[in-house]
Amino acid sequence: MYTFSSKLKTFSLVLMLLGLVGIGIGFMSAPKTIEEVETILSESHAHGHHDHAVAHADHADAKHSDAEHKEHLEHVLHQLQNKPWAAFYVACIFFLLLSVGVMAFYAIQYAAQAGWSPILFRVMEGITAYMLPGSIIFFIVLVLSAMHMNHLFVWMDADVVANDTLIQGKSGYLNVTFFLIRAAIFLGLWNFFRAKMRKNSIAQDSTTDLSFYKKNFKLAATFLVIFIITESIMSWDWIMSVDPHWYSTLFGWYVFASFFVSGITAIALITIYLKSKGYLENVNTSHIHDLAKFMFGISIFWTYLWFSQFMLIWYSNIPEEVTYYVTRIEQYNLPFFGMLAMNFIFPLLILINTDFKRLSWIIVMAGIVILFGHYIDFFNMIMPATVGDQWFIGMPEIGSILFFLGLFIFVVFTALTKAPLEPKNNPYMEESKHFHY
């Protein structure tokens, strides 16, 4: 049985505490009035920070009416007030979907009757334990958005919808009630399948009868069918709808590739950590090699989807589509191209070497870069629509990452203590123990 070390537990609690402090500072420092926004913009101007917001403000002073200037200031106010909310939302959805990605990988192993991976099932089950607390926090954020506590989803604002015929045309789908119902169904289904499969997995430990394994096989196949549908709709609802004028037909696949490779990377990092502490003695370099192959392969798949989406929109040059990338290239240049380097170039150069896939320190280094790169990917998907050009990595962003990382570590490693790290009576366990590539 795994024992959650006091050092790691303390570390996770400290991360959560520091994260809460950072999140609190972010919310408290957000401007409350238009006058505060004017002060912030004038100070930026005085210090020579000629960003887009300042340029717009100057332009408004010179050419626009007072009403238009006030409207612009209100817009900047909403962006600055959105910043701590958006930072919290990005970290919240990233860690939630990372655990969902592990659930998908876990189900794929069962459905495919893979022989190499059963030795890693308890690690996967530990990571998917985060789905429940992550889902609860995330759904609360969605409810608070629906209550107009923030402006993350502009289509929830009746005044915006009243003056936007395009959003009005989508109101049959993009309405608060239907949105929250969909979210509750998706989160409920994912957690239901996770709970049932975890229960059957533990029950299989105490019997040689394969009925529980067969139940998990059927559950896994059913989950994957449901997951394919719910994941696509989820990506439209929770991420793409922050940009309600823009759409991409392969966005669901793109989002999936991002959190799927993040989940596989988390499996690899936690497996290596447990192995270093003397657990998982039957995990060998071939298991690590296979996880690294998935990290490499899905990174290339993500890049293929990124390029397909970017190239077609750039090549067609349709105004309502290309603005999505114009905004990100002009205002998010560093995170936009930095993300591409971390998610494609770095994994390509490091993990293409077969020998490197068997070296734990290489996997850890590559894994940390991949996880941070895909956090930036979610940052790029959410922030431009919610905070515009008012972005920077500050206290709310760092605090949110620390809080959810601490919560993730606490929940996952607590779950690992609840059952033996090596499943018993799985029909493919012996094959998994002696797996060599």
For the chain, what is the domain count? 1
In a domain, 53, yes or no: no
Question: What is the predicted pLDDT for the residue at 45?
Answer: 58
Is residue 54 pLDDT above 70, yes or no? no
Q: How far is CA 365 from CA 257, 291, 359, 361, 362, in A?
A: 20, 14, 10, 6, 5
Q: How far is CA 117 from CA 52, 196, 259, 300, in A?
A: 51, 19, 20, 22
pLDDT by residue (tens digit) across 188-247? 999 999 999 999 999 999 988 899 999 999 999 999 999 999 999 999 999 999 999 888
Is residue 40 pLDDT above 80, yes or no? no
Is residue 261 pLDDT above 60, yes or no? yes
Q: Two tokens at 124?
A: 């996967």
In a domain, 51, yes or no: no
39/128: higher pLDDT: 128
Question: What is the predicted pLDDT for the residue at 53?
Answer: 44
In a domain, 39, yes or no: no
- Residue 241: DSSP 8-state: G
Domain that holds residue 159: 6-30+65-426
3-state secondary structure 90-110: HHHHHHHHHHHHHHHHHHHHH
Listed in sequence order, the DSSP H helices in 157-206 are 158-162, 165-169, 176-204
Mean pLDDT throughout 135-154?
Answer: 94
In a domain, 402, yes or no: yes
In a domain, 1, yes or no: no
Q: Find the range with the poorest average confidence among 52-56, 138-142, 145-149, 359-363.
A: 52-56
Is residue 60 pLDDT above 80, yes or no? no
Q: Residue 306: which pLDDT band, with cuts at 50, 70 and 90?
A: very high
The pLDDT > 70 percentage for the chain reads 94
In a domain, 58, yes or no: no
Question: What is the predicted pLDDT for the residue at 273?
Answer: 96
In a domain, 55, yes or no: no
Dist. CA 378–CA 86, nearest whole Å? 11
In a domain, 48, yes or no: no
Mean pLDDT throughout 62-90?
Answer: 77
Length of the chain: 437
Q: Which residues, other chains included, contact 268 with Cβ-Cβ below 8 Å and sequence gap of 6+?
A: 288, 291, 292, 295, 363, 367
pLDDT by residue (tens digit) across 387-402? 888 788 889 999 999 9
Mean pLDDT throughout 147-174?
Answer: 89
